[in-house]
Amino acid sequence: MAYYKNKINALFAITNFIDTARWDSDENYNLINFYSDSLSNDEKLLTHWLCYITDRQMPFRRIWDIGGFILSEIVHKIREKKDMAILDPANIKNSYFIKAKDYSLKDRSSLKNKGKNAHLFVSHTKIKKNNRLIDYGFKENSLPYFMSRYYPSDYKSIICTLTILKDYDYSIIKFIIFIANKYINDSRFISKLLFSLY
């Protein structure tokens, strides 16, 4: 058991070093722009994981500022409703993932020139005094949107993650505890933990 504890601590030390090197600055006191101050730690951790999924060849601040706002709302609503239907692009009125052409404010945004089959994540919460979103050109009382660079595969990875977590009440912490209890004595424990949601 001590062997695995040391391996996990070493892994966390490496991850902490990488995170510190990449994001350590005075302005990053709260990296993710969560849509609500009342999210649970579990919801914040899952939001962070979903942001990592979309973190490929895009400015990370855009992901944390815009994507984090929308993805945290998605996480909160899925946990509240216990239903992934809010990510069904066919349900335009209630979905958080829609075709760009169906975005209600598309004529006032940079989306008017996007292809008709492009998809994006859209918040259902109007912006209220959120300077991080306003700095990106979103107006107060508008619904922010986020399109990750690799949105088809990112969307599928997010759906896969949430489908796995469905059996754990959409709790990433419950899932990590389950994996830890199941594989703690396995020599590939750390790999299984890291890749079990992706």
Contacts with 115 (C-beta within 8 Å, 6 or more apart), sequence order: 100
- Is residue 132 within 8 A of residue 29, CB to CB? The reply is no
Crossing angle of helices 151-166/172-183, nearest 10°? Answer: 70
Q: Does residue 50 lie in a domain region?
A: yes
* Residue found by looking up tokens 């998605």 in the block: 74
Name the pTM for this structure.
0.81
Q: Does residue 6 lie in a domain region?
A: no
Model pLDDT, residue 3: 72
Q: Does residue 59 lie in a domain region?
A: yes
Q: Number of folded domains in the chain? A: 1
Model pLDDT, residue 102: 77
Sheet holding 97-99, edge to edge: 97-99, 119-122, 145-146
Q: What is the pLDDT of residues 114-152, one digit of tens each?
A: 556 788 899 999 999 899 999 988 888 889 999 887 778
User: How far is 23 from 44, CA to CA, in rounded Å?
Assistant: 17
Q: Does residue 13 lie in a domain region?
A: no
Domain span holding position 184 = 33-195
Q: Does residue 179 lie in a domain region?
A: yes
Mean pLDDT by 10 residues, the chain (198 residues): 69 68 57 92 93 83 92 96 90 86 64 66 91 90 86 87 94 90 83 74
